[in-house]
Amino acid sequence: MMTLTEMPKYDAYKDSGVEWPSEIPAHWQPLANKYIFRIKKQLVGKKSSLYDLLSLTLRGVIKRDMENPEGKFPAEFDTYQEVNTGDFVFCLFDVEETPRTVGLSKFSGMITGAYTVFEVKKEYDKKFLYYFYLNLDQGKRLKPLYKGLRNTIPKDAFMAFKTFIPSRLEQTAIANFLDAKTAQIDEAIAIKEQQIALLNERKQTLIQQAVTQGLDPNVPMKDSGIDWIGKIPEHWQVIRFKNLFSQSRIPVRKEDGVVTSYRDGQVTLRSNRRLDGYTEAIIEGGYQGIRKGQLVLNSMDAFEGAIGVSESDGKCTPEYVICDPVRADVSQYYFAYLLREMALAKYIQVICNAVRQRAVRIRFNNLASRFMVLPPSAEQEKIVAFIESEKGNINNGIEHLIFQIEKLKEYKATLINSVVTGKIKVV
């Protein structure tokens, strides 16, 4: 991929008249937005059922799925406004906090009246303008226009704001260049994201096989009698959970920080958060003590894998199930992996009779009578060591891919910035 320093520059530049960018190509003209955009405000009224519902997201303007709705919807859409293909949608409030405040719609439909919808005059290339304002949005460079606590850009201030305009031929050439280049970058990102997904899948398969079948592929097998596991090594035992673990009841200590269990199995202090001065409220609220090395299940989120071994002492809400081994040959680290596999196989939902996972909570009693597999103690330790080693190798690969993706995103943003401000020449 060509570096930006290798790309051609314009022959002459001039002062832009603003702090950013300080210079623009000599033949580009600053032009107030009132000569480029027209504000639209066509309410859909009682005809909302005839329109697709649109939303402004990081992926641009998208159609919302009304068959499988996510998020909140109003009872009526009468105050929503019409959007046509090729219209701009701007969020001119909460600009600093909103991840994406500009979109060029590929669809016709309706969108909340809180947004501002513009149409573009025929003399200007819409895609060029989109890249120009996408660049401004990524850097939050409209900050000088903000008013009030909600960082709102008044419409008159936006219409007076000046866009740097090259010739129409050049606008189109810039848009076409960026379409092609950003598509290449997006494809490279998509490939790396797919590689991450495959690595995560491989990691999960390795863990699942290790905790249910062991590490020796040649060992004789037997039926475990456990639906979600199937066959296990012949020398493994099958024992009820209550004969492996007891539920812990540890009092709260004032010096303890708050512990949280995450969906990746991590159980640790939540940003070292402490609740000094609220000890009585914590005790009254049913908080319980937790100690390093205990097996922990988040009763509400265990279905998604929030099961692990605590990395520190602390306190947690009563929504956590904390367990201690009752036998010397039981590794809480092995069972954290086993229970996570049980959760990811959706079997915890089954034993809780969960129609919807949010409708129930996993409790110690739900697990107590359930059969678990128990490898010999030394084998449990080898399985945990194997998983940790393989996880580390795979996670290193994933982190490297994430780093590459971030670099590609940075290159994409820098490329757009350089082209729409004339730092490099594409025609």
Q: Give tens-digit pLDDT for 182-210.
A: 999 999 999 999 999 999 999 999 999 99
Flag whether 54 is in a domain: yes
Q: Which of 101, 131, 165 is the last residue of a domain?
A: 165
Which pLDDT does position 59 carry in this prediction?
92
- Say how many domains are in the chain: 3
In terms of residues, how long is the chain?
Answer: 427
Looking at the fold, whether 344 and 425 belong to one and the same domain comes out as no
Place of tokens 């129409």: 168
DSSP codes, 331-366: -HHHHHHHHHHHHHTTHHHHHTT-SSGGG----HHH
**Are residues 53 and 133 both part of a single domain?**
yes
- Report which residue type is found at 175: A
pLDDT tens digits, residue range 219-269? 999 999 998 899 999 999 999 999 999 999 899 988 888 998 888 889 998
Q: Structure pTM?
A: 0.85
pLDDT tens digits for 264-322? 889 998 765 555 554 545 554 678 999 999 999 998 888 888 999 999 999 998 999 99
Q: Are residues 316 and 362 in the same domain?
A: yes
Q: What is the pLDDT of residue 153?
A: 97
β-pairing verdict for 221-223 and 231-233:
antiparallel
The CATH number covering residue 426 comes to: 1.10.287.1120
* Partner residues linked to 267 by β-bridges: 261, 310
Domain membership of residue 85 (yes or no) is yes
Element (H, E) at 138: helix 126-138
Other CB atoms closer than 10 Å to residue 161's CB: what's the count? Answer: 20
Q: Supply the range of the domain harboring residue 89.
A: 29-165
The C-alpha angle with vertex 389 and arms to 385 and 391, in degrees rounded to 5, equals 115
